[in-house]
Amino acid sequence: MRFLTPLAALAMTTAAHATDIEFWYGNTGSNEKAILAACEAFNASQDQDRVSCVGQGSYEAGMQKAIAAYRAGNHPVLIQFFDAGTLDLMLSGAVIPVSEVMPDAPWDSYIPGARAYYETADGKLFSQPYNSSTLLFYTNKAMLAEAGIEKTPETWEEVIAAARTLKEAGVSCPFATDINAWRQIEQFAARHGVPIATQSNGYDGLDAEYVIDQGIVAQHMNNLADWHEEGLVRFDAETKAAKYNAAFSAGECAMIEGSSGGYGSFAEALGADAITVTLPPMYQGQTRHNTFVGGASLWLMKGHDEAEVKAAQNFLDYLRTPEAQLEFTAATGYLPVTQSALDLLESSGRADAPEFATAGPGMETLGAPGNADTRGIRLGFYVQFRDIFAEETQRAYNGDITMDEALANSVRRGNELLRRFEATYAAN
């Protein structure tokens, strides 16, 4: 690990005063291992600061515990939070923007798509992007070849044509996905260049309203319902593995749209040569825009002394180094999101290695041209909206209501959340 030496040298020049800090994260499995490895590497690289990394079991549990801990005054200085909680945290008054604490850090090196998600309209960066993922399209090469499909589908039209061929060839699960809004509307709307809510998804004001019941988003949701009815699309509970990505790993489903962060486990289960990973499908004739950065970022919490904040900064500096980013990418499939990390990947000649297979398509879709509606999601109580969306569309897939009714219900209930969020933070 040659990249540790300069950091170690840096650590020795500063005063030898050990500061212990805690860092909370939510990932599990192979991603958790990679986080713990980064913590150990940081601790081994210097002896000024010690970070103890504490797993919370999931992003949601991490957020819940952070809220409880903050109210009780025993929260850690550094916490990983997930994308959907961004606005709740920005307005919480419990965090300090990283660009305020570390004005000299090379924030410009972050690719715009990754930075915009965590940045206010006036350019204040609240958190440091960490495990950044985006939506990609995966296929099982052998299953497609067996059905006589030679070209990896690129458009929705081609995906569905391939799914029909697969179904005729006896594949019970041609295309799998889940009912998560992240996949179905957020990433879909972004890459088709349309908003899911007015005010540019809330970036320009708290008075945003959902618009998922109209335009190409509504059309796509209706298509999904039809394709599901036809037996071409399966959701989590309809697969033997009970989860779309596990069903892909098990060779049950031939195609999925999934997070770049899932690549590691797919490659492990099926072999890196047995799968393709490409840009998520577009509708024919539509211009491709950037997808959102998903996953999570690192937030500095208020209420800690200078030494602790300094230690947290050092850890953030370490995680931001191109070397640490590539280490993390290789172990997980998450994307390197700074230009310097991409340059290092290029110059190291490892860009074609299987452990960096997601970097190419991932950067291409994140780096596609954007517009005002593809900066990110800036909507209040958004975590709960994702649940509402899942609940309503599930009822549509079951045939209890039509997809148009499900979308109208989601908009109505979602707008109620937004109004209450507005009222809750009116005092600020």
Contact characters 56-95, other proteins, x per CB under 8 A: ----x--xx--x--xx----------------x--xxxx-
Q: By CB under 8 A, is residue 397 in contact with other proteins? A: yes
Cα 107 off chain centre by? 19
Q: Which of residues 242-281 bind other proteins (CB under 8 A)?
A: 242
Min dist. Cβ of residue 170 to other proteins (A): 15
For other proteins, give the closer residue by CB, 124 or 420: 420
Among 18, 237, 351, 372, binds other proteins (CB under 8 A): 237
- Give the separation between CA 313 and CA 7, rounded to whole angstroms: 13
Q: By CB under 8 A, is residue 392 in contact with other proteins? A: yes
Q: φ and ψ at 125, to 5 degrees?
A: -90, 120
Q: By CB under 8 A, is residue 119 in contact with other proteins? A: no
For other proteins, give the closer residue by CB, 162 or 407: 407
Of 101, 77, 116, 52, the closest CA to residue 291 belongs to: 116
Find the DSSP H helices in 230-279.
244-249, 263-270
Which pair of tokens denotes residue 284?
A: 């024919």
For other proteins, give the closer residue by CB, 326 or 417: 417
Contact characters 196-235, other proteins, x per CB under 8 A: ---------------------------------------x
Of 333, 351, 354, the closest CA to residue 341 belongs to: 351
Contact region for other proteins (CB under 8 A) — 44-52, 121-129, 330-338, 392-400? Answer: 392-400
DSSP code per residue over 329-379: HHHH-PBP-BHHHHHHHHHTT-TTSGGGTTHHHHHHHHTS---GGGS----
Q: By CB under 8 A, is residue 126 in contact with other proteins? A: no
Min dist. Cβ of residue 404 to other proteins (A): 16
* Strands 19-25 and 78-82, sheet pairing: parallel
Min dist. Cβ of residue 298 to other proteins (A): 17
> CA dist 363 to 219, 279, 284, 324, 371, Å?
27, 10, 22, 18, 17
For other proteins, give the closer residue by CB, 7 or 63: 63
Q: Which of residues 304-333 bind other proteins (CB under 8 A)?
A: none
For the chain, the C-alpha Rg in angstroms (whole number) is 22
Min dist. Cβ of residue 281 to other proteins (A): 25
Among 381, 389, 410, 418, binds other proteins (CB under 8 A): 381
- Give the separation between CA 49 and CA 280, rounded to whole angstroms: 42
Contact characters 2-41, other proteins, x per CB under 8 A: ----------------------------------------
Of 353, 361, 334, the closest CA to residue 278 belongs to: 361
- Give the separation between CA 282 and CA 264, rounded to whole angstroms: 24
Asked whether 193 and 373 are in contact (CB, 8 A), the reply is yes
Chain positions contacting other proteins, by CB under 8 A: 60, 63-64, 67, 70-71, 88, 91-94, 235-238, 240, 242, 381, 383-384, 387, 390-392, 394-395, 397-398, 400, 413, 416-417, 420, 423-428
